[in-house]
Amino acid sequence: MLFLITQTHNPQDCPKDIGGFRKVFINENVDGLKLKDVYVEHGSHKIIYIVETESYESIVKFLEPGMLKCTSSISPVSSLTVSEILRK
């Protein structure tokens, strides 16, 4: 399953000078989770991830490094249109 994760941090917690978000806010080495894409909205301190996994626990492990510095919203998403889903 695909999930869109939006992670927001406060400006004072921005990781740009301490290794970047990949080092500070996420764990990319989680079994069963594939990081498909990343988008950064610099002005609002938001990072958007597309991940693929079958396990909510793997999402928790992925986000664990940033739990005290960020808030995250997690939404299941699909690359299919509604018409394609209804035809299945």
Give the integer Cα–Cα distance in Å for 88 and 76: 18
Owner of token pair 């080495």 = 29
Widest CA span of the chain, in angstroms?
49
pTM over 0.85: yes
- CATH number, domain containing residue 15: 3.30.70
**What is the tally of structural domains in the chain?**
1
| pLDDT string in tens for the chain (88-residue length) | 999 999 999 999 999 999 889 889 999 999 999 999 999 999 999 999 999 999 999 999 999 999 999 999 999 998 887 888 788 6
The confidence score (pLDDT) of residue 39 equals 97
The confidence score (pLDDT) of residue 26 equals 95
Q: Which domain holds residue 11?
A: 2-87
